[in-house]
A and B are shown apart, each in its own frame.
Chain A
Amino acid sequence: MLATVRQPGWTRAMTFVAIGIAFTYALSLGARAGLGYDPVLDGEAVLQIGLLSVPFFFLVGLGLFDYWGYWMSGKPTRAEDHSGHGAKSWKSYFYPNTDHKVIGIQYTVLSFFFLFVGGLFAMLIRAELAQPGRQFIDANTYNGVFSVHASILIFLFIIPVFAGLANYVLPLMIGAPDMAFPRLNALSFWLLPIAGVMMLSSFFAPGGSFASGWTAYAPLSNSAPIGQVFFTIGVQFAGASSIATALNFLVTIITMRAPGMSFFRMPLLVWANFSTSLLVVIATPFVAASQFFVLLDRALGFNFFDNGQGGDVLMYQHVFWFYSHPAVYIMMLPGFGIISEVLAVKSRKPIFGYRMMAFSLLAIVVLGFTVWAHHMFVSGMQSWIRIPMMITTAIIAVPTGIKIFSWLATLWRGVLKLDTPMLFALGFLTMFTLGGISGVMLAMIPITVHVSDTYFIVAHIHYVLFGGSLFTIFAGVYYWFPKMTGRMYDERLGKIHFWMTFVFFNLTFAPMHVIGVQGMPRRVADYADQFATWNLLISLAAFGTGLSTLVFAYNMIASWRGGPRAVGNPWRALTLEWQVTSPPPVFNFDAIPTVVGGPYEYGVPGAVHGVFADDPPPVMAGAKTVAGGAGTADAGAPPSDSDHA
């Protein structure tokens, strides 16, 4: 018994959680008694201390700090037996693991769990809005539901699912055996379920869940019921997780590339995650700080946002949006990377303007920090800030436009293979362009003033986050599904999924532009009768979107269990992750490959990207013979397809 408790794992984690709760009560009671507060037992104080401290007890109990503990105390560490590496059965996915492939799957599956939870909230929202008046939930619950919907999908789906996909494929793509800091990688995964459980459990708090939207504007979040701190503290854990992952990606990309993999031979997914990680490292501390301010105001009576005491409420919005505008690129740039991979492979052509694609990512990183106040055009800030912010916002559409046109030029005269990943990639191109155009409209101050806080905003954000990010995520999941699971997905179901999603998505969100311009306010549980017809249509289409997700879930689960075995390189791709078996061996490569050319030379005779030790030496580029090259696992798939040239 004692041995089980001492062993890192769930038993010890739960024991430590119990110790953590006891510690929380002791600290709270002791501090309040010592300072002479009355009453000594205060539920809110206990809850706030507990939300901050119990997760650490949980993580220690689960064993995430064991190695560092040994190392710090100078005891012999147990690093070199690699016992914590690789999955032995499905149970391994429920324990900390240092293998980036296991962590990638943990991340992706957990994020999709939260997609379904967040999607269910969306269904609830649409059920309530199907008709004017009150149907299922009261106004306060409604506020909580849309707040949790947004927070869950932003902080626990879109941001981590990109980290998960990149976790799986990025080390393979650059020819690294693992991430630079595998234990930090495990820790950053295990911070996520904590944040998710925290946000969801806020519904059990007295006074209901946090109801101030995912933006949690300050005077409102300061005075909201205790459910608010579940957001305030939950965001800290999600933010810490993304900062740790971003550090890991940056160090991995900079220090662990295969020989010959110069920066301009990296696949664009690597470039995209490099740029995203820069954004995360620089911007995410601001959202942490904004929530610290709220927490200090709430818990310790600070006056950051109390106008009567000299505080400033607009400061919250500035600090929050200084993170949250770059955050929209954190939620989009990795998707750009996925699309570049899929489009090049599925149209059998080199990416058009590879260098401009990379530079435009970096341009977005820089410009992303100069536009935050366009979220505050109607906030009452100094009006002179608005014009420069309008101009920078219009400018940031330029690098994005470069990318869109480069993708179109990549497709130009390509040999398109319209399977599921490609369909989602093309769906992304059209839908994201629409969302981008409404974004440029919103950059214009007069339009923002007119449609601010209407359904036009809801339509815009869902066109860029659903039609944009989520479509790239689906494209990426279908594209790498064979690599990650070793099985092929069902192509027919995939196509059904795409067309259902595409049609119902547009039926759901396109009408929102119309009712938004007509003035239907967002974030309100009820609306004027004149919008009833449109809303009924939107709700029905939204349920269709919900159903399409079930097709996806069935396809993924059934194919993972019983789909046909995947070969190493089913897409005849050049990038390194496809040159190993599916799924890859536990340490990725027997020997690190050498990179001798660009990643997207599809249709170029004799082009080789990576050379493995057991291959014949590469023939000089431009020579007629196709170097046997890149393939190791499946000789059947030619590494380059000069037949299409």
Chain B
Amino acid sequence: MEAAALSAPAHGHDHHGPPEANRSSRVEPQMLGMLLFIISEIMVFGAFFTAYFFIRIVNDDGWFPVNGVELPKLVAGFNTAILLSSSLTLHWAQTSAKNGNRFGLKAGMLTTFLLGFTFLFIQINEYIHVGFAPHDHAQGSIFYGLTGLHGAHVFIGLTLLGIVTVRAFRGHFTPEEHGGVEIPGIYWHFVDVMWIVVYTTIYIL
């Protein structure tokens, strides 16, 4: 037995509770749960990418420009930079949480949240000005499908980040106990990395 039993945090009550579970892995359960959930999420994106490649292959005119409409690569590239920088600020917030730097935690979380919000705002603007609708053609369907799926994930991530930010401003999280920043943070990093894949396939390839 290499993994030692967890040193039990003192329970406030003595006998009603369950026996302290043995910890047979060094990975935090919450962390492992989030990683497995991310695998699941990757597969959702995988299904949408499958649809993308099928639609791209079966159409003779292939990918954009369709009917003379080109995708706004530059705006989306700028948006990519915004989302990627939010990963950096998030990392700053996480490091600050570990080191007990409260200002860094609060400022990092707030910046991350605002950057993510800006990303979503620019993307909705892009939808308004992109010049085609999902029901115009299958390419439009999968463009809206994939970017919309990612947008939904940004929204979920922003909700999580919003909660973390509020909690940070309320004085939660200590250098010993910062799982509440770490685990939503992993999700946000996943959303960012997934955007690079989505951006590359949709806009560049």
Q: Mark A residues whose CB is within 8 Å of B.
A: 72-74, 80-82, 175-178, 180-181, 243, 247-248, 250-251, 254-261, 281-286, 288-290, 293, 296-297, 300-304, 306, 309-312, 314-315, 318-319, 322, 587-592
B129 an interface residue at 8 Å Cβ cutoff?
Answer: no
Q: Is the CB of B137 within 8 A of A80?
A: no
- B16-38 CB contacts (< 8 Å) to partner A: 16-25, 27, 29, 32-33, 36-37
B43 an interface residue at 8 Å Cβ cutoff?
Answer: yes
Q: Is the CB of B54 within 8 A of A296?
A: no
A81 to B43 CA separation, bound complex (whole angstroms): 38
Q: Is the CB of B19 within 8 A of A289?
A: no
Contact residues in B for A175 (Cβ distance below 8 Å): 22
Q: Is the CB of B135 within 8 A of A301?
A: yes
A514 to B166 CA separation, bound complex (whole angstroms): 67
A282 to B137 CA separation, bound complex (whole angstroms): 30
A281 to B46 CA separation, bound complex (whole angstroms): 13
Distance from B5 Cβ to chain A, minimum over Cβ atoms (Å): 6
Q: Is the CB of B138 within 8 A of A256?
A: no
Q: Is the CB of A588 within 8 A of B33?
A: no
Q: Is the CB of B50 within 8 A of A281?
A: no
Q: Is the CB of B138 within 8 A of A312?
A: yes
Q: Is the CB of A281 within 8 A of B36?
A: yes
**Complex partner residue of B134 from A261, A302, A319, CB under 8 angstroms:** A302
B7 an interface residue at 8 Å Cβ cutoff?
Answer: no
A620 to B137 CA separation, bound complex (whole angstroms): 72
Distance from A480 Cβ to chain B, minimum over Cβ atoms (Å): 21
Contact residues in A for B138 (Cβ distance below 8 Å): 303-304, 306, 309-312
When A and B form their complex, which 7 residue pairs have the shortest distance between CB atoms, in order from nearest? A289-B47, A310-B138, A177-B18, A301-B135, A587-B18, A285-B43, A257-B24
Distance from A557 Cβ to chain B, minimum over Cβ atoms (Å): 31
**Complex partner residue of B21 from A250, A289, A311, A592, CB under 8 angstroms:** A592
Total residue contacts A-B, CB cutoff 8 A: 162
A256 to B5 CA separation, bound complex (whole angstroms): 10
Contact residues in A for B55 (Cβ distance below 8 Å): 304, 310-312, 315
B193 an interface residue at 8 Å Cβ cutoff?
Answer: no
Contact digits for B1-19, partner A, Cβ 8 Å, 1 yes 0 no: 1000100000111001111
**Secondary structure call for the B interface:** helix
Q: Is the CB of B32 within 8 A of A589?
A: no
**5 A–B pairs (Cβ distance < 8 Å), ordered by A:** A81-B16, A177-B20, A181-B33, A259-B5, A281-B39
A304 to B50 CA separation, bound complex (whole angstroms): 11
Contact digits for B123-155, partner A, Cβ 8 Å, 1 yes 0 no: 000000000001111111110110000000000
B40 an interface residue at 8 Å Cβ cutoff?
Answer: yes
Distance from A551 Cβ to chain B, minimum over Cβ atoms (Å): 38
A254 to B26 CA separation, bound complex (whole angstroms): 10
Chain B interface size range:
35 or more
Contact residues in A for B44 (Cβ distance below 8 Å): 285, 288-289
Distance from B128 Cβ to chain A, minimum over Cβ atoms (Å): 13
**Closest residue on chain A to residue B34 by CB atoms:** A247
Q: Is the CB of A74 within 8 A of B167?
A: yes
Known: A315-B55, A591-B19. 19 other contacts (CB 8 A): A73-B166, A81-B13, A180-B29, A254-B32, A255-B24, A259-B24, A260-B1, A281-B40, A284-B43, A288-B47, A296-B134, A300-B134, A303-B141, A304-B51, A304-B142, A310-B55, A310-B138, A322-B47, A587-B17
Q: Mark B residues whose CB is within 8 Å of A.
A: 1, 5, 11-13, 16-25, 27, 29, 32-33, 36-37, 39-41, 43-44, 46-48, 50-51, 54-55, 58-59, 134-142, 144-145, 163, 166-167, 170, 172
Distance from B43 Cβ to chain A, minimum over Cβ atoms (Å): 4
Most interface-central of A258, A260, A281, A309 (chain B CB within 10 A): A309
Contact residues in A for B20 (Cβ distance below 8 Å): 177, 592
Q: Is the CB of B17 within 8 A of A82?
A: yes
A318 to B135 CA separation, bound complex (whole angstroms): 22
A72 to B167 CA separation, bound complex (whole angstroms): 8
**Complex partner residue of B41 from A72, A285, A293, CB under 8 angstroms:** A285
Contact residues in A for B40 (Cβ distance below 8 Å): 243, 247, 281-282, 284-285
Contact residues in B for A281 (Cβ distance below 8 Å): 36, 39-40, 43
Contact residues in A for B172 (Cβ distance below 8 Å): 74
Q: Is the CB of B47 within 8 A of A310?
A: no
Given A285-B40, A302-B134, the answer on whether A72 and B47 have CB atoms closer than 8 Å is: no
A334 to B58 CA separation, bound complex (whole angstroms): 39
Given A80-B13, A289-B48, the answer on whether A255 and B19 have CB atoms closer than 8 Å is: no
Given A74-B172, A286-B43, A302-B144, the answer on whether A181 and B19 have CB atoms closer than 8 Å is: no
Q: Is the CB of B19 within 8 A of A589?
A: yes
Most interface-central of B19, B137, B140, B170 (chain A CB within 10 A): B19
Q: Is the CB of A312 within 8 A of B54?
A: yes
A254 to B139 CA separation, bound complex (whole angstroms): 42
Contact residues in A for B36 (Cβ distance below 8 Å): 247, 250-251, 281
Distance from B180 Cβ to chain A, minimum over Cβ atoms (Å): 9
Q: Is the CB of A255 within 8 A of B27?
A: yes
Distance from B183 Cβ to chain A, minimum over Cβ atoms (Å): 12
Given A250-B36, A285-B43, A296-B141, the answer on whether A314 and B54 have CB atoms closer than 8 Å is: yes
**Complex partner residue of B22 from A74, A258, A285, A310, CB under 8 angstroms:** A258
Distance from A615 Cβ to chain B, minimum over Cβ atoms (Å): 16
Contact residues in A for B140 (Cβ distance below 8 Å): 303
Distance from B191 Cβ to chain A, minimum over Cβ atoms (Å): 16
Most interface-central of B47, B54, B144 (chain A CB within 10 A): B47
Contact residues in B for A248 (Cβ distance below 8 Å): 33
**Closest residue on chain B to residue A248 by CB atoms:** B33
Contact residues in B for A247 (Cβ distance below 8 Å): 33, 36-37, 40
Given A175-B22, A290-B47, A587-B19, the answer on whether A302 and B58 have CB atoms closer than 8 Å is: no
Most interface-central of B13, B25, B51, B172 (chain A CB within 10 A): B51
